[in-house]
Structure 1
Amino acid sequence: MTTPIRERAPITRSVVVSAALELTRRQGLSGWTMRNLAAAVGARTNVIRYHVGNRADVEAAVVADVCAGISLPAHGEWAGWIRALACRMHAVFDRYPGVGAVAATGTGPAAPLLEAVAARLADAGFGAESGLAARAVLVEICMSRGAGLDLLIAGLTARLAGLGGDR
């Protein structure tokens, strides 16, 4: 007589990333290991590597998924737009500890956020300085919760006036 095979959902990239998101929500991005993740999906770590990749690949997938959940404000003057975006980013990053620090780089899966801020600042009149200003805004949003964003916006407003921007 043969032993019946236990039925379970197939392991896919989506299943692995969903489990990593849940671990990140509960323990923070750096609070879990590949073994924890493998146990969460009921597989060995080589199965995780097959479907997603190494630890850095899994983290990138988590950051990409979290960042994709941040909706951009529809419109408004640039400073109000940045404040609204900051509120949305904080609300999402609060649910996934550690992701904001990775997103602060503005690279990889967080690049669309940086590009959106840079485009909004370019529309406001920052021109060639919009990329650097966007990087400062993204770092400030991701890494602090104090009055730093208001100080940064005040400085950017003064700089915009010096550039002759009128938005």
Structure 2
Amino acid sequence: MTTAEKISQELEKVLTGDAWYGPPVYETIDKISFDIAYERPANGAHTIAEIVLHMLGWTLEVAERMSGSKAGLPSAGDWPDPGAPDEERWKTIIDDLKLANVRLIGLIQNVPEQKWGELTNDDRNEPGLGSGVNYEQLINGLIQHHVYHAGQIGILNRMLGGVV
């Protein structure tokens, strides 16, 4: 199995498959009603809508890095404002996350084997910021990012009284 096949399978598993840790990302997100998605938890924690937009932004940024673009923050910012509660907007945010991951998986599947060990286009050397890493580490980092935030979303959904 090539690195591209292995990594794209891992990403698909956490998004839609039989993930070892629990429900996959989309199963978790698809259960969230728009009113719960926009409800602000206690102590100023991020809303679910903010978290999903954050995940979308970083998925798009990683896709740009996979295409050779210089590393940076997501073009819409690290924590974009989802705006006022809006059911159609919530559906669009979810659809956009799914489409961004489909695009990313397509990019992953076309990466030549020798490129996976190369460093991404980044002048910084700060691994905690997702920089100074090779292409394989970049995608593995995004997979971890998706899992982390899916766990947050699941907990917030329960705390806010959403459907479990």
TM bin (shorter chain): under 0.3
Higher helix share: 1
* Higher RCO by CA contacts (8 Å cutoff, separation 6 or greater): 2
Could you tell me the TM-score, scaled by structure 2's length? 0.28
Larger Rg: 1
TM-score w.r.t. the length of structure 1 is 0.27
